[in-house]
Amino acid sequence: MELRQLEYFVAVADECHFTRAAKRLHVAQSGLSSAIRSLERELGASLFIRSTRQVELTPAGRALLVEARRALSATDAARDAVAAVQGLLRGRLAVGSLQCVHAVNVHQLLAHFHAEHPGVEIQLRQGGSVHLIEQIRSGRLDIAFVARPLRQMDDVRIRPLASEPLVLACGLRHPLAGRAEVPLTDLAGEPFVDFQQDWGSRDLVDSVLGERRIAFEVNDVHSLLDLVAFGLGVALVPQSFSVKTDQVQFIGLADPVPAWETVVVTSEAASAAATALLDTVAAARNGRY
């Protein structure tokens, strides 16, 4: 099994099409198809279900895809490690991030990193915590700024960044708006605005409140706060959201609830570029730039 075969296999799996994969890799389609057939013969299993319109992974193909991504990621990490020893950090750095990370300014962080390491190609993807962590595990991302997962994960490395309390967000005219703090029992029957289920804050609030009526489900912070401001529902959010608007009342909770924790996640074998970005994070948090 050759790395070139794995690279071709991953490209076809991503594109779900041999022609598009060949164009992406700048190779002849015949050569790509031949390499995939050779890989299938070596493994003794079909990797794709082929049709005239697209291709789909077989169960064997889905199993191989996870390990193929890891193998290619490890190869890239090995090349980057050698380059780093020579003082030449290069390669690709795929970063994942929540929309709003209060603990660090991700955009400023990446700008500073780019200025220090111009040879590294940076890619940024935003999304929910669950999805981003899965991309770390599959090798699609090198590093991600997310909410701490509620369950233990032994195949990734998690480093804490910050911790803050959850607070109630409600409209300025809501009956609870004048309170100094609110017990969770007073939220019974309230319509909620919340994020989609792969967001870390949604998982945390679900663990705190359990069954509730979610009237509006959104995928960005500003839509959530706008809906709350217009009185269409309430929300439990990290306290740092309070700096984003003056049209919402933010009230402390009377009951002890788990804190919202922001963390940075890498694979156990972090690439040289990911390790360098972790150093940049440490420098930013220590006020060194």
- Is 101 in the same domain as 121? yes
- Is 245 in the same domain as 276? no
User: What pLDDT was estimated at residue 262?
Assistant: 93
Mean pLDDT across the stretch 67-81? 78
- Is 155 in the same domain as 216? no
Given a cut of 90, is residue 144 above it in pLDDT? yes
Q: What is the mean pLDDT of the chain?
A: 89
Tell me the CATH number at 286: 3.40.190.10
Mean pLDDT across the stretch 40-65? 89
- Is 252 in the same domain as 280? no
Given a cut of 70, is residue 256 above it in pLDDT? yes
- Is 154 in the same domain as 181? no
pLDDT band at 241 (very low <50, low <70, confident <90, very high): very high
Q: Of 53, 88, 123, which residue constitutes the final position of a domain? A: 88
- Is 240 in the same domain as 194? yes
Given a cut of 80, is residue 77 above it in pLDDT? no
User: What pLDDT was estimated at residue 88?
Assistant: 56
- Is 188 in the same domain as 145? no
Tell me the CATH number at 67: 1.10.10.10
- Is 157 in the same domain as 195? no
Q: Of 56, 88, 120, which residue constitutes the final position of a domain? A: 88
- Is 15 in the same domain as 63? yes
- Is 84 in the same domain as 108? no
Per the structure, the count of domains in the chain is 3
- Is 151 in the same domain as 273? yes
Structural domain of residue 216, as residue ranges?
A: 166-258
User: What pLDDT was estimated at residue 186?
Assistant: 95
Percentage, residues of the chain above pLDDT 90: 58
Determine contact, residues 113/142, Cβ cutoff 8 Å: no
- Is 10 in the same domain as 22? yes
